[in-house]
Amino acid sequence: MIILSGIQPSGTLHVGNYFGMMRPAIELQEQGEAYYFIADYHSMTSLFDANERRKNTLDVALDFLACGLDPAKSVFFRQSDVPEVCELTWLLSSLTPMGLLERCHSYKDKMAKGLSPNHGLFAYPVLMASDILIYDSNIVPVGRDQKQHVEVTRDIAIKFNQTYGETFVIPEPQIRDSVAVVPGTDGQKMSKSYGNTIDIFGDEKPLRKTIMRLVMDSRPPEEPKPDADKNIAVQLLRLVATEDVAKDWEERLRAGGLGYGDLKKALFEQYWEFFAEARAKRSELENNLDHVNQVLKDGASKARERATTVLDRARKNCGLV
């Protein structure tokens, strides 16, 4: 079974990325042949600073390795180290109906926010399809917001297979319902584009501040909160604390008498503890960048080998060779 996923180096990784995509992906490395990559080509649709891209790419590599991605079990690489993916994008593009892309939420959302769209942003699901199909991937672990893109991938693959004969494996998205959408500090989906994120790594003080700023309602502490399960801090606690601890705080909130400040403090402590081991691992890796670069290089050569095989198959089936 081939498992594949990618993440863009377009900013600092946050807790939503961790629970929605990184942790499920890291756990799946035990269950099959995993391919995980840093989607630097994708980041070009929205990030226009070369140094920032370079820095973010290294940061994503450090974050992933610190969080438990094991290069002995997974193939970990930079997307642009496998340029074959761009050639396959073209083969797929010519079979992708415009309407399919026009319906994509991520594009529509960015348009709605007034971002002036470039062709890359519009065509991005085709590059993503190529990322997935070029490794004969079976399973794609992602957060819910990426589900539509995996569906687009399936549609494109089916069309290619119908037009040119069996070429691609049809992939399945894998979404964990329990963490499908991690809420941000304002209660909306946590996303770097909404400025409501809690970083996985960073300094204690600003992170404590971020958590203390979680948006709550204005009900007084004494008032019982029958809707305690909807509270953002409770929802986040469920991710970083044991079930018993999270349940206990939820019950205290439900009963009344618990102030939001105390709840947030508890959340901070649990969150800080949850990532303690990864934090230590990350500082170790920061002092060993040669190792990190070597991991990416080795990953790229393994990924490229597989990509070349699939691209050759596609080229042959559509009559380029």
Binding stretches for ligand ADP (CB under 6 A):
7-8, 16-17, 20-21, 142-143, 145-146, 179, 181-182, 189-193
Q: Report the alpha-carbon distance of residue 37 to residue 60 in Å, rounded.
A: 10
140 binds, among ligand ADP, ligand TRP, none (CB under 5 to 8 A by kind): ligand TRP
* Residue among 30, 26, 31, 27 at smallest CA distance from 76: 26
Q: Which residues pair with 35 in a beta bridge?
A: 4, 75
Q: Shortest distance, CB of residue 201 to ligand ADP, whole angstroms?
A: 15
Between 8 and 74, name the residue whose CB sits nearer to ligand ADP: 8
- CA torsion through residues 18, 170, 177, 27, sign: negative
**Of the candidates 142, 207, 211, 307, which one interacts with ligand TRP according to CB under 6 A?**
142
Between 234 and 258, name the residue whose CB sits nearer to ligand ADP: 234
Q: 186 burial class (0-12, 13-18, 19+ CB within 10 angstroms)?
A: middle
Q: Do 127 and 41 touch, CB atoms closer than 8 A?
A: yes
Residues 98-137 as x/- pattern, contact with ligand TRP by CB under 6 A: ------------------------------x--xx-----
211 binds, among ligand ADP, ligand TRP, none (CB under 5 to 8 A by kind): none
DSSP β-ladder status, 139-141 and 172-174: parallel
Annotated active-site residue in 73, 159, 192, 302: 192
Q: Do 314 and 95 touch, CB atoms closer than 8 A?
A: no
Between 44 and 295, name the residue whose CB sits nearer to ligand TRP: 44
User: Which residues does 32 contact at the CB level (< 8 Å), separation at least 6?
Assistant: 1, 2, 3, 138, 139
Question: Rounded to a whole number, what is the distance in angstroms from the first to the last CA of the chain?
Answer: 29
* Residue among 134, 116, 137 at smallest CA distance from 126: 134
Q: Report the alpha-carbon distance of residue 267 to residue 169 in Å, rounded.
A: 43
Residue 190, Ramachandran bin (φ over 0: left; ψ between -120 and 50: alpha; else beta): beta
Q: Shortest distance, CB of residue 283 to ligand TRP, whole angstroms?
A: 26
Tokens linked to 85: 């993916």
Q: Shortest distance, CB of residue 178 to ligand ADP, whole angstroms?
A: 10
Under the binding rule (CB under 6 A), the answer on residue 140 touching ligand TRP is yes
95 binds, among ligand ADP, ligand TRP, none (CB under 5 to 8 A by kind): none
Give yes or no: 230 in active site: no
39 binds, among ligand ADP, ligand TRP, none (CB under 5 to 8 A by kind): ligand TRP
Residue number closest to ligand TRP, CB atom? 6
The site for ligand TRP, by CB under 6 A, has a size of: 14
Total residues found in the chain within this entry: 321
16 binds, among ligand TRP, ligand ADP, none (CB under 5 to 8 A by kind): ligand ADP
Give yes or no: 281 in active site: no
Q: Report the alpha-carbon distance of residue 214 to residue 211 in Å, rounded.
A: 5
Q: Shortest distance, CB of residue 270 to ligand TRP, whole angstroms?
A: 26
Contacts with ligand TRP in 6-25 (CB under 6 A)? 6-8
Tokens linked to 27: 């756990």
Under the binding rule (CB under 6 A), the answer on residue 156 touching ligand TRP is no
Between 131 and 136, name the residue whose CB sits nearer to ligand TRP: 131
Give yes or no: 192 in active site: yes
Taking every pair of Cα atoms in the chain, the longest distance, rounded to a whole number of angstroms, is 74
Q: Which residues bind ligand TRP (CB under 6 A)?
A: 4-8, 39, 42, 128, 131-132, 140, 142, 146, 149
Residues with active-site annotation: 110, 189, 192
